[in-house]
Structure formats: C-alpha cells, structure tokens
Amino acid sequence: MSKVATFERGIHPKYNKELSSGKSITPAKLPQRVVIPLSQHIGAPAKCEVKIGDEVKKGQVIGTPAGFVSSPVHSSISGKVIAIADFPTAVGRLVPSVVIESDGKDEAVAFKENPNYMNLGADEIKAAIKDAGIVGMGGAAFPTNVKLSPPKEKPIDTVILNGAECEPYLTADHRLMAERPKDVVEGLKIIMKSLGVNKGYIGIEENKPDAIAAIKSAASGESSIEVHTLEIKYPQGAEKMLIKAIKNREVPSKGLPMDVGVVVQNIGTAIAIYEAVRYGKPLIERVVTVTGRGIKEPRNMMVRVGTLLSDVIEQCGGLVEGAVKVISGGPMMGFAQWTLDVPVTKGTSGILVLSEEEYVSSEEYFACIRCGRCVDVCPMGLNPSMLSILIEKGHYEEAKDYNLYDCFECGSCAYVCPAKRPMVQFMRLAKSQVKP
Amino acid sequence: MPKQVRHDTKRKIEMATDVKTHPLIVSVSPHVRDEESIAKIMWTVNFALLPAFIMSVYYFGPRAVYVTGLCILTAVLSEHLFQKGLNRKITSTDGSAFLTGLLLGMNLPPAVPFYIPIAGSLVAVVITKMLFGGLGYNIFNPALVGRAFLLISWPKLMTIWSTPTAQFLAMDARTTATPLGILKEEGAVKLMEVFGDKASLYSQLLMGNRAGSLGETSAIALLIGAAILIYKRYITWHIPFSFLGTVAVAAWIFGGRGGLFTGDPVIHLLSGGLMLGAFFMATDYVTCPTIKKGQIIFGIGCGAITMLIRLKGGFPEGVMFAILLMNCFAPLIDRGVSPKMFGAVKKKEEKK
C-alpha cells in the first residue's frame, strides 16, 4: 500500500526540518503596518483601487486584476492607507505596493459563506478562487484560477496535491497537513470538482509520518483520493518530478503539467481554496516557516500578507549573534535578502536565517573538472557541466542546443559541484541573454 | 571562513527591529552545498593509491620512495612556482599536482636516474596542465604525457626493469624483462616457465612480485584502492570495467599463439599498467567523457587500442598510448552522446 514513489536522479541534502517540524502553527501578532505589493503573482500587476488616506477593512479589495493572468489583492488588516509607492520585495524587484497602517481593530468585511460548497458549479468555484486572489503558494505564485482553466484541447484527468515539501528546512506544508488534514482533503475535492476530475492524489515525502497518517485518515472515506508516500529526495516537489513519481508520466520538454492531463496544486493553496469557497475568505494570510540556526526560536506562523520580515523575525526572538544570511523561501531555491524591510507575500513559504556555521561561501569557484556529478543528479537529464562551460565562455546560443530552457534552476548541480561553480547563476545569465 | 564573511559584507543594513545592525550576505541560490570539494576528491584518490605505493616500497625498496618522492616534489613545486610567477591563484595544495606526481612516479621503472622523475614531472605539470590553463582545461592526462615524453626521450633508461627483491642499493639491482615483454618476445609458455607454473604465475602477478613500473605491479593493492574509490562513488564501473572487459575479450580471442580463442585473458589483465591505468588514469575526470554512455565507449576504445599495441605494436605495453589517444576523443564523445533528458520521449508536434 505504501509504495515509495520517486523520479530519476536528484540529491539528498541535509534536511534540517527538525528545527521547526514539531512546532504547531501559531498566529503572528497583528502587524502595525503592512506593505502589500500589487504584484505578488506571475502576470500583470493588479490595478490599485485605493488612495492615500482611504480607510480599509481586512479582506477589502485594494487591487483588481488587470488581465486574464492576474490576480486581485486584498488588505490583510484594517486601517488607513498611508502610502502607495514602489517598495522592494523578497525577489529583489521594486513593486508598486500599498502601505496600510493598522487601526488595531482588525475589522473584516463581510465574507460570503457557502455551506453547500460542494454543490457549486465549476465556474462558481473558479470565480470564488479568483475573487479571493489565490495564487500558487509554493513559491511561483501563478494565479490559481488560470491553472484551473486549461484550454479545451488539454483534457485533465488527474489532480495532484504537492505535499512533498522537498526544500530543506521548510515545514509549513508539513504542519498544515498534520494539523488541518480535513481542510486539505476538502480543498482537493473542490479542485477536482472545478476541473471535473475524479482522480486526486496527495504526495507526501516519507519524512513526515504524522502528516501522512493524518492525511490518510482524513481521506479514508474518499475513494477518489489516493495518498502516496514519496522518497525523500530533492527536488521531489517540482511539478514534473512529482507527476513522474505518482503517475509515471513525463511532461514533455518545454511543456506544462496539463500536457499530460495533470494539474498540481500546493498544500497551502488547497487550504486557501477551501477557505475561499467555503467561507469566502480572501488570501490575506499564510503559514510561514521561520527557521534556521540563525533565528532564536524557529516557528511555524500564520502571518498576514504584507508583514515585514523584520516583524516576523522579531516575534521569533530575533537573529542570533553571527546570523549571516536571510533567505525568503528554502535554501535550494530561495532568495537571499539584503534588507529585512520586505514583506511576506502570498508565495513566501519560509524565512530562513543561516548562522555562520551553516553558511557556505560561494565567492570562490574553480574551473569545471568535468567530474559529471551534476549530470548524475540533474532531474531534467541535462548536462549542466557542458552548459556551464559554454555559458562561462559566452556561448549562449550554443547553450540552447544543450536544452538550457529545460533547466528550472533547482540548484542540484550547484549543490553537488566540487568546484563550487555558480551553476544557477550561469543558467540565469544565459537565459537573460537569449530567447527560448 | 568567518573572517571572509565579515569581509565581504561591509555593507551594513539597518534592521527595523531591535536597533541592531546586521550585515547580510546576498548570493544566488542554492544557499547550502555538499561538502565535496576538488581537494577532498584529489586527496582521497591519493589515499587510494597508498596500498599500491606500499607494495612498491615492499618490492623495490627505497628506490620507490626516492623516485616517487622526486616526482611529487617536482610536480607540486613546479605548479606552485608557475602560479606564483604568473600571479595566478595558487592551487598547489589541492592534491591534484601531488596526484600527478604520484601517478607519474608509479609509472616509472625503479632504476631511473634522478633527472628522469624531474623532467617527467615538469612536462606533466607545466606543459600538459598549466600551459593548457590548469586543472580542468588539460586535454591529456598529465602523468601519462610526462611518461610518454620520457619513454620517447630516454627509451633505454625507461625500459630497464629491476627484479622486485626489495633491493636496498637499487643501482645494483639485477634487471630482467617484464611479463609482457616475455609474452611478446617468447610467448606464454616461456612466461610460465619463468614463474614456475600457471598458478604461481597468476598469484605472483596478483601480488605484484614481478618486474614493471613501480606502482603498477601489485594488482591486488590497486584493486583495494579502486574499491575505495568505487565505494566513495568517486569513480564508477563504466570506464574501468569496459576497459578491462575489452582487454579480456580481445586477449582471449586474439592473444593466443595457437589460433583464435586460445589466449589467456588473466595474464593480460594482471600484467603491465592495466590495473593502474584502468582504475586510476583512464578515470581522470578532466580527460575522460562526462556522460556514462560515453565513458563506456571511452573504456572500450582504451581496451581495444591497448590490445592492438600489445599484440601488434612495437611496444610490449599499450595502456599509456591507449589512454592518451582516447583522451583526444573524450570531448568528441561528450558531444556525441547525451544523457536521457526528462520529457524528451514524447517530443510532439505541438509547441503551443
């Protein structure tokens, strides 16, 4: 029954999840001020619907979608708009954002409840998801309603919930599955309904036995839902790897999961979908794992969107002496921060603070010795060694012949490289220089 | 390392919270790395050669220490001085120059005069490696080019084989022929005569009690080292096994004097520099193909050329030239094969 599924190649980094995996999700303090970027998703930034001085309530729309691939943005607290300007975000860009100062009351607008949510039609479900501003919460932040509206020529027969959480350190999805398994399963059922699919899977890595048990018991009555135990391996949670592991289907090169009839959703997203469809609650808060040996008290916290990293870190006891790096996201694909005055967004799964002893210098690297370790681990079956050599010499066009654009920058090659080459940097550089 | 951390984060940023200033390091992902490094790999390979080195000392006495030591010293020193002279990053402690010296030493006859190890190491490190751009850029295995240079420049000195009797005054050691030399000149029957019988021949070859280059004679010691490397996954079976397999098959088919399929593969496998070459030289990362499929082609090529030279060439031994010739093809092989790409199976018409 519990077969351990996986994909070819990949790596086994130290997971370090024990720092926070046993910590229940606790609500963060109501922030005094939030900075809410109008673009927290892939696609067109939302159109600002408020002015400086406006009073807003929790859950009120402050940005409306500007296009098909776009998403609305809501206020996460009640208070007054005090600024609308470009602010830095965790991915390093300046993004037009709305700054709201709390009035301390945390008053919410009325949400439209739907006790009989399973009777809703597909379009109603998708409308509710869109109105709630739900985007993929695993990091990429692609608008969920778009993902749930595949073109007609791409029939979908399978939905997979991604409970792999293969990024080291992160435990947000783990805690959600362990603490709210029913909501996860309900979310999955809603997604399946919206797509007219009758086969749903939840894939969970073996290192979360409590989550597997909880989800299995929550899904025990559902004949259409299967729980799969996955091998502990990075990047097991990458969409293509997850589909390969569970359905043994390979998404074609340059293709999308829908090309093989699959839609993958994140665990947090599933719960947000449940809350949006059942309670009409917009996506204004999310679970963030605050962890690493550079933070005094690692925690899993329910944090309002727009809360500054510095606020969150302070609530976890602050940084330890010798904390050297703050990362938004996990250690494999997350973004190092230069300032802590950036907000938590819908896609922020973790705040990782590395201490001096966890830090690995990446400033000095050597020539490729062509040991082939990167070839042996690349989940996409590329030749990173050759790519890096070509890119280093500026042969970007030739890099395309080695399938540069199939690289999704998981960092496995860089992780194993004994010459400590900045592989991900090379790939990004080349991608910025040539078109696909 | 902490010092470096401080150094590269001069830019301090202010934290909104507890009025503490924290320097933060910003770099591209991934933010965690495996502990493997070039130096760790190189020193492990050096360590894996220790059993064979010990056996070389056992059979050839202080000469082994003297010749190998001279090679290592010259290799490391010349890399260091070259990099210092050209104001390059000094990498002479990463174990790679040490390994080149060690391998060259193990590939030399015991009785060579002092200038042989020095000249060989200089050619290996300075010409073959540094002038091509240093570690990672060299086309040929440095130690083997060093040896090839010596063999061509001093053919006489490079083919004086001492008897393995732990001689302490090595210059006075008696000389003899290598098993492959006897095999080539007088055939397998004579070879067995020299060693007594077949069983004794095999066991002496396995232990290394025979004439030959310093570190190549003890197959068992080399296999122990190879086992360490395979266990640590520093090398895989692909090159050595395809190399040895090709040699064995070719020896069996073409190696006998009595016609096809009468050859003795065991003698060929355990003689000459095959074990040392297959496990420690052909597997050199820089000069072999990166892709596993290509490594098998590479190994077969090495085996075929080795046997061609052993059976039909002017030299009794062909491992060195086989690997050097296949080194030329490694980049080409790497371009000709590719790993199995994810999602490549269903390359369909649609492209959105």
**CA gap B334, B292 in Å, rounded:** 9
- At residue B170, the pLDDT reads 45
What are A98-140's pLDDT values in tens digits? 999 999 999 999 998 888 888 899 999 999 999 999 999 987 7
What share of chain A has pLDDT > 90, as a percent? 87
Domain for residue A26, yes or no? no
Residues A338-352 pLDDT 10s: 999 999 999 999 999
Q: What percent of chain A has a predicted confidence (pLDDT) above 70?
A: 99
The per-residue pLDDT for B140 is 97
Q: A29-33, A94-98, B17-21: lowest mean pLDDT where?
A: B17-21
Q: Are A329 and A350 in contact (CB under 8 A)?
A: yes
Interface membership of B258 toward A (CB under 8 Å): no
d(CA A294, CA A290): 10
Boundary residue ending a domain (A279, A303, A325): A279
Instruction: Tell me the two tokens of residue B330.
Output: 């490694």
Token code pair at residue B236: 């895989």
Q: How confident is the model over A43-55, as a mean pLDDT?
A: 93
pLDDT at residue A141, as a whole number: 87
Same domain, A347 and A308: yes
Note the pLDDT of residue B10.
Answer: 35
pLDDT category of residue B172 using cuts at 50, 70 and 90:
low
| A319 plus A299 within the same structural domain | yes
Kindly identify which residue of chain B lies nearest to residue A326, measuring between CA atoms. Answer: B24
Looking at the fold, whether A260 and A164 belong to one and the same domain comes out as yes
Looking at residue B22, its pLDDT comes to 63
Same domain, A270 and A297: no
Tell me, yes or no, if A338 comes closer than 8 A to chain B by beta carbon: yes
Given this model, what pLDDT does residue B305 score? Answer: 97
Work out the average pLDDT over B149-174: 78
Tens of pLDDT, residue by residue over A18-41, are 999 999 999 999 999 999 999 988
Q: What is the mean pLDDT of residues A290-314?
A: 95
For residue B175, the model assigns a pLDDT of 82
pLDDT above 90 for A287: yes
Q: Are B112 and B158 in contact (CB under 8 A)?
A: yes
Residue B7 has pLDDT above 70, yes or no: no
- Chain B 331-350, residues with CB within 8 Å of chain A CB atoms: 334, 338-348, 350
Are A271 and A304 in the same domain? no
A358 pLDDT band, cuts 50/70/90, is confident
Domain-embedded: residue A14: no
* Same domain membership, residue A348 and residue A247: no
The predicted pLDDT at position B188 comes to: 85
Checking if the pLDDT of B21 tops 60, the result is: no
Residue B351: pLDDT band (50, 70, 90) is very low
Q: In angstroms, rounded to a whole number, what is the distance separating the alpha carbons of residues A362 and A30? A: 37
Is A332 in the same domain as A220? no
Same domain? A103 vs A50: yes
Q: What is the pLDDT of residue B345?
A: 58
Buried b (16+ CB within 10 A) or exposed e, A232-257: bbbbbbbbbbbbbbbbebbbbbebbb
Domain end point (choices A262, A279, A296): A279
Q: Is residue A337 part of a domain?
A: yes
The whole-angstrom distance between A214's CA and the closest CA on chain B is: 31
From chain A, pick out residues whose CB is under 8 angstroms from the CB of B23.
324
pLDDT at B171: 52
CA distance B111 to A435: 62
Q: Quote the CA–CA distance of A337 and B282 in Å, as a whole number.
A: 45
* A8 part of a folded domain: no
User: Is position A15 within any domain?
Assistant: no
Contact of B10 with chain A, judged by CB distance below 8 Å, is answered with no
What is the CATH classification number for the domain harbouring A257?
A: 3.40.50.11540
Nearest CA to A201 out of A232, A224, A177 is that of A224
Sign of CA dihedral A419, A329, B16, A54: positive
Q: Which residue range forms the structural domain that includes residue A380? A: 373-433
Does B2 reach chain A within 8 Å, measured CB to CB?
yes
The residue-averaged pLDDT of B110-136 equals: 95
Is the C-alpha dihedral spanning A14, A18, A19, A25 positive or negative?
Answer: positive
Give residue-wise pLDDT tens across range A382-430.
Answer: 999 999 999 999 999 999 999 999 999 999 999 999 999 999 999 999 9
- The average pLDDT across A67-84 equals 94
Which residues in chain B have Cβ-Cβ distances shorter than 8 Å to A325?
A: 24-27, 31
A-facing residues of B in 37-66 (CB < 8 A) are: 37-38, 40-41
Query: Which residues on adjacent β-strands are paired with residue A98?
Result: A36, A84
Q: Are residues A117 and A266 in the same domain?
A: yes
Tell me how many residue pairs between chain A and chain B have CB atoms under 8 A apart. 204
| Tokens coding A368 | 């490729």
Q: Are B227 and B177 in contact (CB under 8 A)?
A: no
Are A275 and A286 in the same domain? no
Taking CA atoms, what residue in B is nearest to A315? B17
Q: What is the mean pLDDT of chain B?
A: 88
Domain of A329, CATH number, reads 3.10.20.600
pLDDT beyond 70 at A308? yes
Give the model confidence (pLDDT) of B280-316 as tens digits: 999 999 999 999 999 999 999 999 999 999 999 988 9
Q: A58 and A186: one domain?
A: no
Condensed to tens digits (0 to 9), the pLDDT of residues B245-286 reads 999 999 999 988 888 898 999 999 999 999 999 999 999 999
**DSSP letter assigned to residue A61:** E
Sign, CA dihedral B318-B323-B325-B326, equals: positive
**pLDDT averaged over every residue in chain A:** 93
Final residue of a structural domain among A238, A255, A279? A279
- The pLDDT assigned to B14 comes to 37
Distances (CA, A) of A34 to A313, A342, A343, B134, B250: 15, 10, 7, 53, 75
Residue A25 lies in a domain: no
Pick from B69, B93, B78, B77: nearest CA to B127:
B78
Residue B173 has a pLDDT of 60
Are the Cβ atoms of B34 and A313 closer than 8 angstroms?
no
Among A340, A356, A375, whose Cβ lies nearest the Cβ of B290?
Answer: A375
What is the ipTM for the molecules in this complex? 0.90
Q: Is residue A272 assigned to a domain?
A: yes
pLDDT digits (tens, 9 = 90+) for B53-72: 999 999 998 999 999 999 99
Q: How many domains does chain A have?
A: 3
Task: Looking at the structure, tell me whether residues A48 and A157 fall in a common domain.
Answer: no
In the predicted structure, residue B226 carries a pLDDT above the cut 80: yes
With an 8 Å Cβ cutoff, is A199 touching chain B?
A: no
pLDDT at A140: 79
Inter-chain touch A359–B38, beta carbons under 8 Å: no
Under an 8 A CB cutoff, do A370 and B290 touch? yes
Query: Is A20 inside any structural domain?
Result: no
Q: State the nearest Cα–Cα gap between B191 and chain A, in angstroms.
A: 40
Name the maximum alpha-carbon separation found in chain B. Answer: 90
pLDDT value, residue A360: 83
pLDDT reported for residue B166: 58
Mean pLDDT, range A234-245, rounded to an integer: 94
3-state secondary structure of A434: coil
